[in-house]
Homo-oligomer: A and B are copies of this chain.
Amino acid sequence: MRIGELSERTGVPAATIKYYLREHLLQAGEHGEGNTVEYGPAHVHRLTLIRALSETAGLSVAQIGEVLTVLGRHPESAFQALGATLAATHRDPKFSLASEGTTEAAERTVDQLLHEYGWAEVAPPNYRDALVIALSAFYRLGNPDPQEVLGHYADAAAALASADMEAIAEATRVDGVNVEQAVVATVLGETVFAALRRIAHVAASAKTQAGQGP
């Protein structure tokens, strides 16, 4: 198919497709008759993947490029690809910390939590820092120690991670290693979970307002 049909089928404007081609996110088409360029099902799939990562999961073009590089290396294990993807798609925290005392308290709380869950040695430094920065902001606004809530959060994170690993392992038993599926599920999973969490909050807060207690 020509670029016009590719655009129609995927809902991606032709100008955007050309941009993805220039940025090497989308593989080039094949030269057809005359001066035409032909695209196929692989291009439709790749465009769907790019749009899911960009618009659904909110990744930048640079981050999508890194995810596609990970997938292009054909890693043997989905778990290995997952580690590389998680590193590539992290949103850097930029919060500047003026009050050092508060940061130390946040660092202590975060490091203790990571230690308790056996995550201290494997936690990538940028995720640990994201936690410290968020917690410092929380303290600096004069809020009390949310240690108990943090524990609930960590429990939920551990439960989700093992559910995801189970699903990847099961899919691997059935269909062989499907690295793209594992990566897409994990990245989109973040968007899905954020929506579910907000729905659960609205439901819980409506229930609490109705006097049924939290």
Contact = CB atoms under 8 A, between A and B. Distances in A.
A79 B118 CA distance: 34
A49 interface: yes
Interface string A86-104: 1000110111111000000
A39 to B, nearest CB: 15
A62 B101 CA distance: 31
Nearest to A188: B134
Contacts of A43: none
Interface residues on A, range: 35 or more
A166 B169 CA distance: 35
Interface in A112-163: 114, 117-119, 122-124, 127-128, 130-131, 133-135, 137-138, 140-144, 146, 148-150, 152-163
A204 to B, nearest CB: 4
A90 to B, nearest CB: 7
A202 B122 contact: yes
Nearest to A151: B163
A150 to B, nearest CB: 7
A195 to B, nearest CB: 4
Q: Which 10 pairs of residues, A with B, have the shortest CB-CB distance?
A: A165-B214, A152-B163, A161-B200, A52-B137, A11-B96, A157-B196, A157-B200, A161-B204, A156-B156, A79-B205
Interface of A: 8-12, 45, 48-49, 51-52, 55-56, 58, 77, 79-80, 82-83, 86, 90-91, 93-98, 114, 117-119, 122-124, 127-128, 130-131, 133-135, 137-138, 140-144, 146, 148-150, 152-169, 171, 180-181, 184-186, 188-206, 208-209, 213-214
Given A137-B188, A160-B200, 13 more contacts: A8-B98, A11-B98, A79-B206, A90-B198, A144-B171, A146-B167, A148-B167, A152-B160, A153-B189, A156-B159, A162-B204, A193-B197, A194-B194
